[in-house]
């Protein structure tokens, strides 16, 4: 039997229309959904669904901790015991310290109209009276902070449909490794199609990746965290050589002349020209001129900024400048071009989703600072004293900044509960672990990360062991806490899905459920195209009605200059290398990040340039320690000239394995054997967004053996 499905993973695909072959309730293999267009294809992570579903490492019974936090010392329990304990402990914490004492430490590790783990957790906690919530996100926090200042309420429609790529003459992938990190189900196939049709591809990144190789791109290696400087120098060439369209930029934006004055050095600070930028970002001045000339002379040009360029210090500025560049070249909002915004910022098809039961009075803390908020509380300036955490669809202890601090934060909690399929580092620090259903055990509607379509999946396999869907877990727990009717509204999962389809634009619900795919009529939308054609008739939701490259609100709210300027990160003496922690093409974040697990998806490998390796006595396969002031982690070395000298790369998502104190890190030395990059990152974040800084981290690398 072959049934429609999608993986629902928290990646750039998330709702790829797939199919699963099932025999006697057991998944055999994942196929492409034959009803979907050729370009809507999944990846190896989606094909992993059966392996994760069938893994012998799956948690199939509720667990209650009996050892120290961080240990694997749990005992199996019945659902009644586990849920009774959870309800009692949550109720006790809330009654003594108020609703803000519970932290909603969840994310969308599983996505869907109904079974989105972050939405379900938020709805449950709001029904119970509220909680401390996380603001921003790890994915694109700096960009999401900056874009509303540029576009106002129209930021949500500033992206483009992937099919728009087929009209591009030039595609600039600025830190966008879309064949591996994806950024949308359809985008990889549309990029390859554009290349076959003759579009030129320029790839700007510290690493030469599969995306660069398969598109035969011109690779421009740039020092991590310096993309803003390179963008300023490109704009300098466009302006000084008459390759820009300043009249177009002035008609559509406010502040372009101010940026131009800064770039040309009329502010008294000297020109931000290619010679200046070469010393900052490591790109030869002549290559910068060539880049700018090709960009300025090729129409239409589509500039796609990836998330990597905003996961750095001052990560807000590259996205403000990517928009400025598309305005300067006249590619803004035109077919085959882009606005320079995040590509998925377009509305999808109309469909119902679960309501979070919003509580505007919930105290909030930046997602990057959750461990600080636990450890410091009100005395440290945070809005609540957190005593408990509810974790669902996330592995934040492993995936947030400063892993050693995150472990200390969990140790400070009175109670923590999570829903999980596997005993992750976060789960090992919880008091109760509730076994969650796999993606193949849930029926849902898939809402894609980018694109104008919907997916549907059936519950292809029966629940294994005692596993339950997150919805059912919350429903039973809500009953125990006296809020069952508020959470469920008396509806079963199927009744919720029926209501979502009733509120949708899908014309044939039965056909949608059978095929697993609905395509909306428009598939080649270009964000803000109406504004680009006639800015007076289609003004934006900003104070000026134009793109605000400079505005009083930005300066007032941030204390920074009104236009984007070069803001260098501080150097750290004794740490001469810069670490980047990109996404692995083999896993979604930390799913499969346990090197000892049955579904391991890659050992910890540090990629280092031969020039940097030789000076440190590092050979291929050498065990190395990567360290800075926050801690250290270990990996094996891979020597490659596919990375810029002075830069090292360690994929994010590996599970930490503490070298000292088997129950977790003590207050002394913090060293990890598992290769977790977040031993080296921090919780300070980028200003003003307090977004994560996961690239350009100063480190040193030394050979162990």
CB 624 within 8 A of CB 580: no
Strands 671-672 and 631-639: parallel
User: 């309730």: which residue's tokens?
Assistant: 25
Residues with Cβ within 8 Å of 77's Cβ and at least 6 positions away in sequence, in order, are 61, 62, 63, 64, 85
CB 57 within 8 A of CB 599: yes
DSSP 490: T
Six-digit token string for 238:
């466009």
Q: Which residues are bridge partners to 390 per DSSP?
A: 104, 417
In whole angstroms, give the CA distance from residue 643 to residue 201.
Answer: 19
Report which of 496, 286, 331, 471 is spatially closest to residue 392, judged by C-alpha positions. 471
In whole angstroms, give the CA distance from residue 186 to residue 176.
Answer: 14
Give the CA angle between residues 411, 412, 416 to the nearest 5°: 70
CB 27 within 8 A of CB 20: yes
Neighbours of 618 (CB within 10 A): 22
Q: Is 609 exposed, middle or buried (0-12, 13-18, 19+ CB in 10 A)?
A: buried
* Number of helical H runs and strand E runs in the chain: 23, 27
pLDDT at 56 (0 to 100): 97
Six-digit token string for 483:
């809020």
pTM for the complete prediction? 0.96
DSSP 615-629: TTT--TT-EEEEEET
In whole angstroms, give the CA distance from residue 539 to residue 337.
Answer: 20
Cα of 86 vs its chain's centroid, Å: 30
Backbone angles phi, psi at 301, to 5 degrees: -115, 130
DSSP 31-87: EE-TTS-TT----HHHHTHHHHHH-TT---S-EEE-S-TTS--EEE--HHHHHHHHH
Q: Is 71 exposed, middle or buried (0-12, 13-18, 19+ CB in 10 A)?
A: middle
Residues with Cβ within 8 Å of 279's Cβ and at least 6 positions away in sequence, in order, are none
DSSP 463: P
pLDDT at 664 (0 to 100): 44
CB 675 within 8 A of CB 635: yes
Residues with Cβ within 8 Å of 687's Cβ and at least 6 positions away in sequence, in order, are 314, 558, 560
- The phi-psi region of residue 482 (left if phi > 0; otherwise alpha if psi is between -120 and 50; otherwise beta) is left
Residues 597-627: tens digit of each pLDDT? 999 998 999 999 999 999 999 999 999 999 9
What do you get for the CA distance between the two ends of the chain, in Å?
52
Report which of 49, 110, 114 is spatially closest to residue 460, judged by C-alpha positions. 49
In whole angstroms, give the CA distance from residue 36 to residue 324.
Answer: 36
CB 22 within 8 A of CB 33: no
Full set of structural domains in the chain with CATH? 63-138+349-502 (3.40.50.740), 142-341+530-558 (3.40.228.10), 577-703 (2.40.40.20)
pLDDT at 254 (0 to 100): 97
In whole angstroms, give the CA distance from residue 392 to residue 394.
Answer: 6
Largest CA distance in the chain: 74
SS3 449: coil
Residues 539-582: tens digit of each pLDDT? 999 999 999 999 899 999 999 999 999 999 999 999 999 999 99
Torsion of CA 371, 373, 377, 378, to 10 degrees: 160
Element (H, E) at 701: strand 695-703
User: 């300025």: which residue's tokens?
Assistant: 296
CA 181, 184, 185, 189 dihedral sign is negative
Which residues, given as ranges, of the chain have pLDDT below 50?
A: 661-669
CA atoms within 13 A on the CB side of 452: 18
pLDDT at 666 (0 to 100): 46
Report which of 428, 392, 391 is spatially closest to residue 407, judged by C-alpha positions. 428
Residues with Cβ within 8 Å of 42's Cβ and at least 6 positions away in sequence, in order, are 6, 7, 13, 16, 17, 18, 30, 32, 185
């Amino acid at each position: 039997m072959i049934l429609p499905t999608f993986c629902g993973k928290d990646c750039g695909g998330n709702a790829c229309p797939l199919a699963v072959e099932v025999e006697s309730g057991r998944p055999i293999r994942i196929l492409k959904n034959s009803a979907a267009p050729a370009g809507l294809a999944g990846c190896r992570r989606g094909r992993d669904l059966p392996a994760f579903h069938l893994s012998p490492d799956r948690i199939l019974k509720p667990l209650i901790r009996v050892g120290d936090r961080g240990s694997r010392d749990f005992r199996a329990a019945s659902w009644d015991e586990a849920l009774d304990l959870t309800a009692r402990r949550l109720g006790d914490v809330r009654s003594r310290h108020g609703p803000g004492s519970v932290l909603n430490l969840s994310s969308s590790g599983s996505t869907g109209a109904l079974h989105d783990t972050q939405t379900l957790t938020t709805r449950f906690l709001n029904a119970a009276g509220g909680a401390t919530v996380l603001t921003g996100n790890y994915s694109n926090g700096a960009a999401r902070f900056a874009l509303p200042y540029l576009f106002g309420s129209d930021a949500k429609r500033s992206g483009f449909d992937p099919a728009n790529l087929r009209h591009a003459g030039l595609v600039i992938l600025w830190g966008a490794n879309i064949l591996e990190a994806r950024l949308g189900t359809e985008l990889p196939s549309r990029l390859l199609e554009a290349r076959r049709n003759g579009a030129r591809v320029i790839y700007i990144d510290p690493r030469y990746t599969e995306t660069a190789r398969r598109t035969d791109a011109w690779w421009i290696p740039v020092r991590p965290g310096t993309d803003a400087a390179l963008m300023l120098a490109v704009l300098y060439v466009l302006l000084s050589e008459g390759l820009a369209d300043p009249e177009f930029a002035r008609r559509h934006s406010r502040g372009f002349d101010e940026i131009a004055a800064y770039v040309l050095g009329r502010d008294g600070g000297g020109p931000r020209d290619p010679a200046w930028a070469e010393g900052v970002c490591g790109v030869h001045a002549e290559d910068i001129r060539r880049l700018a000339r090709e960009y300025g002379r090729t129409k239409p040009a589509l500039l796609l900024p990836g998330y990597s360029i905003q996961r750095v210090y001052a990560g807000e500025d590259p996205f403000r400048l990517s928009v400025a560049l598309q305005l300067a070249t006249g590619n803004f909002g035109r077919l085959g071009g882009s606005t320079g915004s995040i590509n998925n910022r377009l509305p999808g098809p109309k469909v119902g989703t679960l309501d979070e039961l919003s509580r505007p009075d919930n105290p909030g803390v930046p997602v990057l600072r959750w461990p600080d908020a636990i450890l410091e509380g009100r005395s440290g300036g945070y809005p609540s004293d957190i005593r408990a955490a509810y974790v669902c669809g996330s592995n934040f202890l492993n995936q947030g900044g400063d892993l050693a601090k995150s472990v200390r934060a969990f140790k400070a909690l009175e109670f923590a509960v999570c829903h999980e399929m596997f005993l992750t580092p976060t789960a090992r620090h919880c008091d109760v672990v509730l076994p969650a259903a796999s993606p193949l055990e849930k029926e849902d509607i898939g809402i894609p990360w980018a694109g104008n379509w919907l997916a549907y999946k059936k519950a292809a396999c029966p629940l294994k062991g005692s596993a339950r869907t997150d919805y059912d877990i919350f429903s039973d727990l809500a009953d125990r806490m006296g809020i069952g009717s508020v959470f469920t509204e008396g509806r079963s999962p199927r009744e919720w899905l029926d209501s979502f389809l009733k509120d949708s634009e899908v014309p044939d619900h039965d056909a949608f459920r059978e095929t697993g795919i609905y395509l909306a009529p428009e598939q080649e939308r270009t964000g803000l195209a109406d504004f680009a054609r006639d800015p007076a008739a289609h003004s934006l939701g900003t104070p000026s009605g134009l793109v605000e490259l400079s505005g009083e609100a930005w300066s007032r709210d941030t204390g920074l200059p009104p236009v984007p300027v070069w803001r260098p990160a501080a150097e750290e003496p004794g740490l001469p290398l810069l670490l980047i922690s990109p996404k692995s093409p083999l896993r979604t974040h930390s799913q499969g990040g346990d090197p000892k697990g049955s579904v391991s998806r890659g050992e910890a490998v540090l990629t280092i340039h031969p020039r940097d390796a030789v000076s440190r006595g590092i050979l291929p396969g050498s065990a190395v320690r990567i360290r800075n002031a926050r801690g250290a982690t270990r990996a094996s070395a891979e020597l490659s000239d596919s990375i810029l000298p002075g830069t090292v790369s360690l994929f994010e998502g590996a599970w930490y394995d503490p070298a000292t104190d088997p129950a977790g890190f003590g207050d002394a030395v913090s060293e990890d054997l598992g290769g977790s990059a977040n031993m080296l990152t921090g919780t300070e974040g980028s200003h003003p967004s307090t977004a994560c800084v996961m690239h350009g981290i100063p480190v040193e690398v030394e050979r162990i053996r």
